[in-house]
């Protein structure tokens, strides 16, 4: 191995061309490793953006993100940084032989390295690394191509950091995709909402699978952040505000679940099932299927006890009669 003089800092290209980068980093102090990582980033970020990020953003229809790294939207920028980390980690781990064309070496490994890192991150969140429909779920969905395609999208969605704001699922995006096939947006939105309810109901037939593959990965998503306010500085939230925020999120989630429940009940009643049994089954599945994961990141006093309250109310026949009457009234023309 080439010896460098005391105080001399070898450049990244010198180290890669001589095949010494990985071995040099094994004994290099932290500041030196940071210096070389910064140098590698400066050398390679344009290549990663041009060869990988820009084509991906083009497929997503993000024409603004295709311009430059500086134009990337927050979520797209996060994905870019994840890809850069994967590329740099791979370079620093495997550059043990002379690399005379660094950009060419990285280009050849770019797709495989970033896909592998993406799958690894999904696995760390508990999501399927390669989303596929298990045979039992396909049977529950009656092998409907439309519902199975949606189920794959849902399995893909739970494994990414992106959120849909206050909603669990990106209904607006999926509805817009259906309008591309000529459907009216409002009709598409109702259809997507109904189909999500159908898929969730099918998935919940295997509670442990649903917890592991849907609830747990969803719990790792970052909470949506409000846009910045440049004209003022917001005080740090106190516990009272945190409790209020939790209640607001709970109300939003209840509204979304209620809409899903009504759509699912309507579909099953239209299929000839008895209304009362359908209402009890759907409400038990949608509202009482929680595992407590919604409360993991909450302070005392913020816990959500909807599942227990729903179970209690559905155990009272008179309450069930009232609920059935309200639902049938909602479904009437």
Comparing 268 with 240, the larger pLDDT belongs to: 268
Quick: pLDDT tens for 169-226.
888 878 887 787 676 777 888 888 888 888 988 888 888 888 888 888 887 666 554 4
Q: Which residues have C-beta within 8 Å of that of residue 253, sequence separation ≥ 6?
A: 166, 168, 294
Please count the CA atoms within 13 angstroms of the CA of 184 that sit on its side-chain side. Answer: 3
6 pLDDT tier (thresholds 50, 70, 90): very low
Please indicate, yes or no, whether residues 266 and 179 belong to a single structural domain of this protein: yes
Question: Which range (125-139, 195-209, 231-245) has the least confidence?
Answer: 231-245
Please indicate, yes or no, whether residues 173 and 280 belong to a single structural domain of this protein: yes
Please indicate, yes or no, whether residues 89 and 143 belong to a single structural domain of this protein: no
Spatial contact of 242 and 250, defined as CB atoms under 8 Å apart: no
For the chain, the helix, strand and coil percentages under 3-state DSSP, each to the nearest 5: 70, 0, 30
End-to-end CA distance of the chain: 82
Q: Which two tokens stand for residue 160?
A: 């990414």
Average pLDDT, the chain: 77
Angle, CA of 58, 60 and 62, to the nearest 5°: 65
Quick: pLDDT tens for 11-69.
888 889 888 888 888 888 888 889 999 999 999 999 999 999 998 888 878 888 888 88
- DSSP per position, 45-99: HHHHIIIIIHHHHHHHT-TTTTS-GGG--HHHHHHHHHHHHHHHHHHHHH--S--
Please indicate, yes or no, whether residues 196 and 118 belong to a single structural domain of this protein: no
Reported in sequence order, the residue ranges of the chain that DSSP labels E, i.e. its strands, are: none
Domain boundary, last residue among 125, 145, 164: 125
pLDDT of residue 44: 93
Comparing 316 with 252, the larger pLDDT belongs to: 316
Quick: pLDDT tens for 56-75.
888 878 888 888 888 888 77
Domain count, the chain: 2
Please indicate, yes or no, whether residues 78 and 184 belong to a single structural domain of this protein: no
Please indicate, yes or no, whether residues 282 and 147 belong to a single structural domain of this protein: yes
Please indicate, yes or no, whether residues 100 and 141 belong to a single structural domain of this protein: no
Quick: pLDDT tens for 89-104.
999 989 889 999 999 9
Domain boundary, last residue among 79, 101, 125: 125
Quick: pLDDT tens for 108-124.
999 888 888 877 777 66
| Domain range for 30 | 12-125
CA-nearest of 51, 53, 48, 78 to 64 is: 53
Please indicate, yes or no, whether residues 21 and 157 belong to a single structural domain of this protein: no
Domain boundary, last residue among 106, 125, 144: 125
pLDDT of residue 177: 77
Please indicate, yes or no, whether residues 113 and 186 belong to a single structural domain of this protein: no
Please indicate, yes or no, whether residues 162 and 88 belong to a single structural domain of this protein: no
pTM equals 0.47
Distance CA 329, CA 48 (A): 56
227 part of a folded domain: no
pLDDT of residue 228: 42
Quick: pLDDT tens for 243-261.
444 544 555 566 667 767 7
71 part of a folded domain: yes
Residue 7: φ, ψ to 5°:
85, -10
Instruction: Taking residues 219-236, report their average pLDDT.
Output: 49
Q: Which two tokens stand for residue 220?
A: 């790792």
Please indicate, yes or no, whether residues 56 and 146 belong to a single structural domain of this protein: no
Please indicate, yes or no, whether residues 169 and 117 belong to a single structural domain of this protein: no
19 part of a folded domain: yes
């Amino acid at each position: 191995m080439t010896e460098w003089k005391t105080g001399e800092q070898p450049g990244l290209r010198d180290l890669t061309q001589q095949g010494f980068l990985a071995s040099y980093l094994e004994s290099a102090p932290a500041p030196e490793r940071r210096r070389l990582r910064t140098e590698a980033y400066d050398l390679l970020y344009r290549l990663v953006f041009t060869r990988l990020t820009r084509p991906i953003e083009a497929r997503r229809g993000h024409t603004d993100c295709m311009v430059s790294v500086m134009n990337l939207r927050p979520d797209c920028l996060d994905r870019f940084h994840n890809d850069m980390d994967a590329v740099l980690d791979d370079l620093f781990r495997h550059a043990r032989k002379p690399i005379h064309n660094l950009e060419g070496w990285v280009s050849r490994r770019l797709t495989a390295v970033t896909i592998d890192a993406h799958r690894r991150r999904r696995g760390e969140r508990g999501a399927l690394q390669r989303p596929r429909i298990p045979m039992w779920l396909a049977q529950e969905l009656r092998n409907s191509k439309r519902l199975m395609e949606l189920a794959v999208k849902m399995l893909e969605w739970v494994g990414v950091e992106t959120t849909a704001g206050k909603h669990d699922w990106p209904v607006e995006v999926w509805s817009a995709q259906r309008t591309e096939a000529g459907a009216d947006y409002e009709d598409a939105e109702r259809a997507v909402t109904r189909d999500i309810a159908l898929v969730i109901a099918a998935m919940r037939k295997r509670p442990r699978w649903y917890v592991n593959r849907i609830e747990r990965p969803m719990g790792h998503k970052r909470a949506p952040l409000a846009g910045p306010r440049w004209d003022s500085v917001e005080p740090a939230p106190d516990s009272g505000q945190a409790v209020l925020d939790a209640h607001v999120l709970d109300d939003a989630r209840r509204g979304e679940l209620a809409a899903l429940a009504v759509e699912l009940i309507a579909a099953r009643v239209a299929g000839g099932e008895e209304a009362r049994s359908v209402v009890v089954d759907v409400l038990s599945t949608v509202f009482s299927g929680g595992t407590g994961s919604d409360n993991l990141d909450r302070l005392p006093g913020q816990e959500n006890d909807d599942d227990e309250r729903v179970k209690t109310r559905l155990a009272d026949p008179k309450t069930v009669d009232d609920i059935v009457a309200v639902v049938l009234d909602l479904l009437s023309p």
